[in-house]
Amino acid sequence: MKNSDPKLLDDALVMALARVSLFAGLTRLQLIWLLHSMTRVSVKAGDLFFDEGDQADCLYVFVAGEALIEKKTSTGWTTLATLKPSETFGEMAIVDGLPRSARIRALKDCIALSLKSSHLSSSPEIGVEIFRNIAVLQSKRLRKMNQAEPV
């Protein structure tokens, strides 16, 4: 598209953010604030968004491409999940500030939006809603893992 209108682009991105479960409950104005607080990150196929053990200070919204969440084991790297557009990754860093517990490797060229934890601190209303949604997301993941365990 030639000479794209930045407002149309922003509107499309705001609508995309509205579909992200981590941002459920946020108003349009809050989503606009969030969008302007985020940074676009491009990663080439074969490269990493981050590696296991890296210091962490942001979460990501996966926008385009194909990437794997991988964990180091005694026998090599194990794939935990494949990321799809509108999914988030790296949320644990926002909660605990500990090093990354897995790596994210791009299978194809990828685009994501990153959000630093410091931005959430500057808007408590938005931060509270996102932290609540992170808690829901982590609870669902834990329940899913527990159901997969043999009894």
Beta bridge partners of 73: 76
Average pLDDT value over all residues in the chain: 88
At residue 149, the pLDDT reads 59
Domains, the chain, in order of start with CATH, read 6-148 (2.60.120.10)
Question: H or E segment at 111?
Answer: strand 110-116
At residue 37, the pLDDT reads 92
Question: Per the structure block, which two tokens stand in for 56?
Answer: 């962490």
Q: How many CB atoms lie within 10 A of CB 22?
A: 23
Exposure of 84 by Cβ count < 10 A (0-12 exposed, 13-18 middle, 19+ buried)?
Answer: exposed
Q: What is the pLDDT of residues 29-83, one digit of tens each?
A: 999 999 999 999 999 999 999 999 999 999 999 999 999 999 999 999 999 999 9
Query: With 60 as the cut, is the pLDDT of residue 151 above it?
Result: no
Residue with tokens 């860093």: 93
Residue with tokens 């893992």: 145
At residue 24, the pLDDT reads 93
